Amino acid sequence: MSYLKGLVCKQCGTRYPADRSFVCLECFGPLEVSYDYAKIQSHLNPKIISQREENLWRYRELLPVTGEPITGFHSGYTPLVRSRRLAEHLGVKELYLKDETVNHPSLSYKDRVVPVALSRGAELGYSVFSCASTGNLANAVAAHCAQAGFPCWLFIPQDIEAAKISGSLICKPKVVALKGNYDDVNRLCAEIGDHYGWGFVNVNLRPYYSEGAKTMGYEIAEQLGWRLPDHLILPTAGGTLLPKVARAFQEFTDLGWVKGKCRIYCAQAEGCAPIVRSLHQDLDYINPEKPRTLAKSIAIGNPADGIYVLQEVRRSGGWGEMATDSEILEAIELLAEKEGIFTEPAGGTTLAATIKLLRQERINPEETIVVAITGNGYKTLDVFESPFEVDVTLRPNLRIFHEWYEGQQALPAGAPA
């Protein structure tokens, strides 16, 4: 049974069948999937959902796939971690971390969007898949294509983190590194997609791909016991995630499954913050920027869905903040020290922005706060200028350890070892 109705232009409302279309022929606006919500409501409810397997397909009626999904059977349903020590440190009452560092199998939020793009793309007859990526998306496309057995081509900026490149290569896709930034890569991919007829998950499959991001919103609401948080802070690059989580909350509200109102905040790195600057300057357009930040996964200077981020942040009563590279690194360390979660710079940016929003009293510390930690720090060890060092290296001998230990105890507190 299909709940998928078609595609609708986000700008002018023109309707299209749910085929390979991805831009409006009338106004060049992006297309978005529409569903038969009355039918969904008569077949689905929170109780049914809560009895299903813990992966993103538990919400399948609200996703644009009509047949059986192809991948993603262990993707999504990541932990919503109730923070104790970080909450105490920040002086907030109820803090949760949506932990995408353990998403399956490629350790970022991109494990949500790719299974939806591939499953729908296969239904539309694509047999080769591709993407323009800052690293995490390439990892997800490589991994899910490997599982499905699809040939795959990845296009990345040449200067992204080594572990992100290796994490893709190990799955044996074709990888093309380009001498330019993400925005240059994306421009080329639009042309290649036209020419070669490949399914570019975030270009010509974007209307379907982006729907996968809604599952983060569904999960947050479900994991909070079918309610919305008061505040949600999300990192933003191209602008897929934030408007789709807003849409997820709206859908659950319209279906009558959750109550409340969530303020949504956008976090960016100061070296690439075109959306946050538009929020701060009260603009309704985006001034593209040339990225200069260590937060490479979110270094998109010309965000495709930037204006929709502005709209949703404003509609929700939220705001945006940016973090410098050193604030991002400090936040990465703070999160690990207080909660044992090792994030990449996107998560550091989000936590650093949250700290600023709390200081500015834009977020009430007595209310429910969710911070999205969207990617894994093991992929971005290169961001730390000096490598981590152990406290000491010893021969494996008890007397030697003992001597060293006693020496440590004799040092005044705070002295270097």
Ligand X SMILES: Cc1ncc(COP(=O)(O)O)c(C=O)c1O
**Under the rule (CB under 5 A), what is the footprint of Zn ion?**
9, 11-12, 14, 24, 26-27, 29
Q: How far apart are alpha carbons 94 and 88 in whole angstroms? A: 9
374 binds ligand X (CB under 6 A): yes
Task: Please report, for residues 133, 135, 151, the alpha-carbon distance to residue 188 in angstroms, rounded to integers and kept in the order given.
Answer: 12, 16, 19
Subset of residues 86 to 125 that bind ligand X, contact rule: CB under 6 A: 108-109
Distance of alpha carbon 156 from the chain centroid: 17
* Least distance in angstroms from the C-beta of 5 to Zn ion: 17
Q: How far apart are alpha carbons 11 and 26 in whole angstroms? A: 10
Choose the stretch contacting ligand X; rule: CB under 6 A; options: 5-13, 236-244, 332-340, 351-359. 236-244
Candidate residues 87, 97, 165, 237; the one interacting with ligand X per rule CB under 6 A: 237
Q: How far apart are alpha carbons 148 and 118 in whole angstroms? A: 9
Q: Nearest Cα to 95, choosing from 378, 344, 367? A: 367
375 binds ligand X (CB under 6 A): yes
Choose the stretch contacting ligand X; rule: CB under 6 A; options: 11-19, 69-77, 144-152, 233-241. 233-241
250 binds, among Zn ion, ligand X, none (CB under 5 to 8 A by kind): none
Directed axis angle between helix 345-359 and helix 325-339, to 10°?
Answer: 90
297 binds ligand X (CB under 6 A): yes
Q: Nearest Cα to 329, choosing from 388, 249, 279? A: 388
Phi, psi of 307, deg, nearest 5: -70, -25
The residue of the chain with the least Cβ separation from ligand X equals 375
Subset of residues 122 to 151 that bind ligand X, contact rule: CB under 6 A: 134, 136-137
In the numeric block, which tokens belong to residue 183?
């925005």
236 binds ligand X (CB under 6 A): yes
* Least distance in angstroms from the C-beta of 288 to Zn ion: 22
CB count in 10 Å sphere of residue 88: 12
154, 173 contact by CB (below 8 A): yes
170 binds, among ligand X, Zn ion, none (CB under 5 to 8 A by kind): none
In the numeric block, which tokens belong to residue 334?
């703070």
241 binds ligand X (CB under 6 A): yes
Q: How far apart are alpha carbons 57 and 212 in whole angstroms? A: 9
* Least distance in angstroms from the C-beta of 110 to ligand X: 6
Choose the stretch contacting ligand X; rule: CB under 6 A; options: 49-57, 149-157, 234-242, 328-336. 234-242
293 binds ligand X (CB under 6 A): no
246 binds ligand X (CB under 6 A): no
Residues of this chain that interact with ligand X (CB under 6 A) are 108-109, 134, 136-137, 235-241, 297-298, 344, 346, 374-375
